[in-house]
Structures are given as structure tokens and as C-alpha cells.
Amino acid sequence: MDRRPIIRLIRTASAVIFVASIAGLIISSINGNNEGWVLSIGMVSAITAIILVVASAVASTTRHPDFSDVLAETIEDRIQRLVAAGADEAEVREIARMSVKLGRGL
């Protein structure tokens, strides 16, 4: 399911509510600074901000790659062949660890 249109709708609605809230605060301030109106409009703005943050966090497109047992077993077999051919096992495993870090961008 593609969530982008839903998030776009939430972001657009949030922007409209934020603009309307600013206008509402200005109008309520001009009309006598009614504390009830100001608090109500402020709460609506705060709740909208929370909804926007949660929706953006939930719709994050960052995905972690799936772990492949087949690929892991293939790498382990190649490490074992290198060690059997005379390579230092600790050094080969350190190279494998460094390769994983490089792939993760660390």
C-alpha cells in the first residue's frame, strides 16, 4: 500500500489548520482576547502538530534490508575456504566486519 497520498493529505490538512489557527488567534485577540477561544485554538494547533509528527514518523520510507541466510552461508563458506587455503581467520573475519560497516555507511 502506497502511503504517500495519505501523508500528502495529512500534511495539506495540517497546513490549512495551522494557517486557520493563526487567523483564529489574531481574530480572537482583536475581538476581546477571549481566553477560552485562544486556548481552544492553541490546543487544536498543538494536536495537529502531534498528528503531523506521528504520521510522518509512521510513514518513513527507510527500510532495513532483509537478512539473507543463503548469502550469509555463502560468505561463511568462502571465509572457511580462505582459512583452509592458509589465510589468517581473525584477519579474514575482520575484513568481513569492516565490509559490513562500509555497506551500512558507518
Binned at pLDDT 50, 70 and 90, residue 3 comes out as low
Specify whether the CB–CB gap between 25 and 38 falls below 8 A.
yes
Residue 77 confidence class, pLDDT cut points 50, 70, 90: very high
- Phi/psi-derived region of residue 72, left when phi > 0, alpha when psi is between -120 and 50, beta in every other case: alpha
Distance CA 5, CA 102 (A): 34
Q: Looking at the predicted structure, is the pLDDT value of residue 1 above 60?
A: no
Name the nearest CA neighbour of 9 among 49, 42, 54, 52: 52
Mean pLDDT of the chain: 85
Query: What confidence tier does 65 reach under pLDDT thresholds 50, 70, 90?
Result: low
Distance of CA 65 to the CA centre of its chain: 15
Tens digits of residue pLDDT in 26-63? 888 888 877 888 889 989 999 999 998 888 888 776 66
Domain ranges of the chain: 4-58, 69-104
pTM for this predicted structure: 0.52
Listed range (71-75, 83-87, 102-106) with the worst mean pLDDT: 102-106
